[in-house]
Amino acid sequence: MKISVIITLKKDVLDPQGKVIHQTLDGMGFDDVNEVRQGKYFEIDTKETDNNKAKAKVEEMCKKLLANLVIENYKIIDPK
Amino acid sequence: MKSSVITFPGSNCDRDMDVALKKFGFKNKMVWHADTELPKSDLVVLPGGFSYGDYLRCGSMASKSKIMKSVINFANSGGIVMGICNGFQILVETGLVPGVLLRNKYLEFICKNVFVKINDKKNKYFKNFDNEVLEFHIAHNEGNYFCTYDQLKEIEDNNQIAINYCDENGKIEDQFNPNGSIKNIAGIFNKEKNVLGMMPHPERMIDPSLSGEDGSLFFKNLINNLK
């Protein structure tokens, strides 16, 4: 089963890379952008076949490794 | 005094640290990240570098390596553990010291000498230190110290800030902050002050013909405090 995870920076955390991407977009003519926040995306292919169990495992992975909860939030996307 | 320096894949200041520790009287051992047992040590150092290529987040992979279980146990039982640069990033990822290290504010790799002011001397690292201000070297891309408001309050209440970026006279101001760190924080302790994480490299300041001598003062003072 493949489970996807999106990691984003929390609202109050400075994202200098997002800022630079925003500036570059602005310079390219995309001048209606309010803000850009950069994040990470993971696809985890697990042997687990039970949907809920797999999600619980991935949640544990997020808390222990994939995300740093001081600065990041994670969102697990329901497998199709 | 016995010390151990942990080498992770991608560490590159481990041998500099070895040279520095030996120069000031430590009997140092290099310890590989895949080892499980820590040699008997009075001091454990997590050196600078780019462990695991800085994948995922700087220090995140190294913080889960086999030897780190022993290092964490050592720290939790009061052992002296110092993380320099990438070692500091590893320490925050283990949770031994609070906060995180973000990308530098202006997105540039910073490699230069800086001045830092000692904020607290009631600890093994800076006790009996005559100087208030030290000149150290920094070289990092992710040294922008960040923590939550609640963490900052706790850090300040417990006097856990070890050193702040400043000018040569010890003035702590925004203009002397190289990387955007909250409150100019360059180094921080755990609550018990046996664990120190800092971005500057004292091991690069131990030879008067190559650099300054403030690293020498730091190591001499440290070994005396540990005796």
Contact B167, B115 (CB under 8 A): yes
Residue A14 is predicted with a pLDDT of 85
Q: How far apart are CA A16 and CA A36, in angstroms?
A: 10
A38 φ/ψ sector (left φ>0, alpha ψ -120 to 50, else beta): beta
**Residue B151 in contact with partner chain A when CB distance is under 8 A:** yes
Provide the pLDDT for residue B44: 98
What pLDDT band is residue A17 in, cutting at 50, 70 and 90? confident
The sign of the torsion formed by the CA atoms of B153, B133, B224, B216 equals positive
* CB–CB contact A13 B148 (8 Å): no
Q: Kind of pairing, strands B185-189 and B161-166?
A: antiparallel
A13 and B102 within 8 Å at the Cβ level: the answer is yes
Quote the CA–CA distance of A78 and A39 in Å, as a whole number.
18
Going by C-alpha positions, the residue among B89, B117, B124 that lies closest to residue B194 is: B124
* pLDDT for position B24: 97
Q: Give per-residue pLDDT as tens, A29-76.
A: 999 999 999 999 999 999 999 999 999 999 999 999 999 999 999 999
CATH number reported for the structural domain that contains residue A55 in this entry: 3.30.1280.10
pLDDT at B15: 97
Could you give the domains of chain B? Answer: 2-226 (3.40.50.880)
User: What pLDDT was estimated at residue A80?
Assistant: 65
Q: Which residue of B has its CA nearest to A65?
A: B60
Domain count, chain A: 1
Interface test with A, best of B52, B54, B56 (most A CBs within 10 A): B56
The stretches of B25-178 forming alpha helices (DSSP H) are 66-76, 86-94, 149-157
Prediction pTM value: 0.93
B211-to-B93, B113, B183 alpha-carbon distances in Å: 31, 10, 27
Taking only residues 13 to 72 of chain B, the set having a beta carbon closer than 8 angstroms to any beta carbon of chain A reads: 56-57, 60, 64
8 Å CB contact of A16 and B60: no
CB contact under 8 A, A16 and B103: yes
Picking from A10, A37, A65 by the largest number of B CB atoms within 10 A of its own CB, the best residue to mutate is: A65
Question: What is the interface pTM, i.e. ipTM, of the complex?
Answer: 0.81
Contact between residue B145 and residue B182 where contact means Cβ atoms under 8 Å apart: yes
Active-site residue list of B: 85, 201, 203
Residue A19: domain span: 2-77
Task: Record the tokens describing residue A32, joined without a space.
Answer: 């209606």
Query: Is the model's pLDDT at A79 over the cut of 80?
Result: no
Greater pLDDT, A16 or B25: B25
* Residue B37 pLDDT: 95
Q: What is the pLDDT of residue A55?
A: 94
CA distance linking residue B91 with residue B8, whole number of Å: 13
A19 φ, ψ (degrees, to nearest 5): -65, -45
In chain B (227 residues long), the average pLDDT of successive 10-residue segments reads: 97 97 98 96 98 94 96 98 98 97 94 97 96 97 95 97 98 97 98 98 94 95 96
Instruction: State the smallest CA–CA distance between residue A6 and chain B in angstroms.
Output: 13
Subunit contact B146:A17, Cβ cutoff 8 A: no
pLDDT (0 to 100) of residue A29: 95
- Alpha carbon separation from B95 to A60, B7, B75, B161, B187 (Å, rounded): 16, 20, 11, 16, 15
